[in-house]
Structure 1
Amino acid sequence: MPDDSLQITPQPVRRQVEERLREAIITSRFMPGEHLSDRMLCDLFGVSRGVIREAVRLLEAEGLVIVVPNRGPFVAYLSAAEATQVYEVRGVLEALAGHGFAERASTEEVAELRAVFEEIAATRPGADRMALLTLKRRFYDVLLRGCRNSYVARMLDQLLNRNSQLRATTLSDPTRLPHTVEEIRRIVEAVERRDAEGAWQACRDHVAQAARVALRILNERAATGGPAPARRPAARRRAG
């Protein structure tokens, strides 16, 4: 019989499970603090325990999952205080990306950023949240590629993964989308003018407004008795 410990996991299968589990967390199918048992996930996705554990490990690195010793993996809980810190760092990194993009992106990349924005602008309130998050991810992919700063791109990309739950949270507010569109329009118009300072400020303003909405929702949830979070012991806790 084949030794399961030596089997090679097909990359596409692991990637599919990782993406579907990430989507389930971002869209709140799995709520903060919920236990992600191996058996439940194996049954849900129809894959082996090894595939599940690899996907969980990768999402733990993104901060979407925490693994509590002797208890297993749980959906990570992000408090309002932690969210504030995430947005503070994201605001600076995103502004640097916008500034660099305005200065160094190619004409083709500027046009590509405009094209993705037009898709976002065409989205109507009530549209599929995951589809909109995918569009925003494409927007950031172009922005990070065109800013020509690999350090900013790497750090912001990692932070955006941690920020996924918060972005989904802001989009749960039915009034948020029109404001998001106008904020991103300002970013695109600034880079089209090659106005680096304007792009910096537009990015800072976009993140500040997103933070305001997310923190309001998180505080409202806490006040009404949200899910009890599973937390890693302080000495072992991963930084967000």
Structure 2
Amino acid sequence: MTEDMALRVVPRPMRKQVEEGLRNAIMNGRFAPGQHLPDRMLCELFGASRSVVREAVRLLEAEGLVTTIPNRGPFVSFLSPAEAEQVYEVRGVLEALAGEGFALRASAAERAELRRIYEALAALPPRGADQAVLLGLKRDFYEVLMRGSRNPLVGRMFETIINRNTQLRATSLSDPGRLPDTVAEIRRVVEAIEARDAAGAWEACRAHVRSAAAVALRILREREQEARAAPSAARP
């Protein structure tokens, strides 16, 4: 391979760009649960054709991020408390497996990288932290955790579940008192990993997910009750 070939940038297909852009917009809260996603708006936003936009929407529908209602079009999916509970159950096991694997197999550089991300998380103000920064640090944490676990299958499965879970993570972190607890829970994960305590890392990861689930499920149930009390504000 020549140097010029090694440096060549391969452009991504437009469909892939729209798919990733729409997925990110949903996961970071730009498009809220229940929000309509009309073709015209998406075409203008991404500068893409209607056929490309519709293909991207179909792919996100397969992931559960979008729901298409007959004669009304696509909407950002709601996640019911029951569905959220299932997502957290699966995430808890996958995250624990990754934590255990990381404690056993990660390199010293990866352990140091995980510690740096934790310290950046711990440095955020306990209240009023920038949500985009916070979610970005959590994404970085899990990217390193999955990579260092040396279990590609867990990583692929986790990537699928985390697309649904990102909306829930934003929900749990919206609780004013959640961030200090998150920092404390992540610290226990990092400390167990640094001690090469695989069982401790497993349990710390499970405890972190259980705590996040409790907060998110409480908020989702409160919202569900509010929606039932106000039919006009209910789902599309």
Same fold (TM over 0.5): yes
Q: Which residue of 2 aligns with 1:99?
A: 100
Percent sequence identity is 67
Single out whichever of 71-80 and 204-213 deviates more from structure 2.
Answer: 71-80
C-alpha distance after superposition, 1:52-72 (max 9, x if no partner):
224323322332112344443
In 2, distance between residues paired with 1:118 and 1:16?
32
Q: The residue matched to 1:178 in structure 2 has which SS?
A: helix
Q: Which runs of 5+ in 1 are unaligned?
A: 1-9, 231-240
Q: Which residue of 2 aligns with 1:59?
A: 60
C-alpha distance after superposition, 1:156-179 (max 9, x if no partner):
111011111101111111211111
Q: The residue matched to 1:66 in structure 2 has which SS?
A: strand
In 2, distance between residues paired with 1:119 and 1:62?
31
Alignment of 1:131-142 (within 5 A): 131-142=133-144
Contact 2:185/2:207 (8 A) holds in 1: yes
Aligned alpha-carbon RMSD (Å) = 2.0
Q: Which residue of 2 aligns with 1:112?
A: 113
TM-score by length of 2: 0.86
In 2, distance between residues paired with 1:132 and 1:164?
12
Q: The residue matched to 1:163 in structure 2 has which SS?
A: helix
Q: The residue matched to 1:67 in structure 2 has which SS?
A: strand
How far did 1:15 drift?
4.7
Alignment of 1:111-190 (within 5 A): 111-124=112-125, 125-190=127-192
TM-score by length of 1: 0.84
How far did 1:27 drift?
4.0
Across the two proteins, how many residue pairs are aligned to each other? 221
Q: Which has the higher contact order (CA 8 A, sep 6+)?
A: 1
Q: Which runs of 5+ in 2 are unaligned?
A: 1-10
How far did 1:100 drift?
0.8
Q: Which residue of 1 aligns with 2:234?
A: 228
In 1, distance between residues paired with 2:234 and 2:140?
33
Contact 1:76/1:229 (8 A) holds in 2: no
Q: The residue matched to 1:73 in structure 2 has which SS?
A: strand
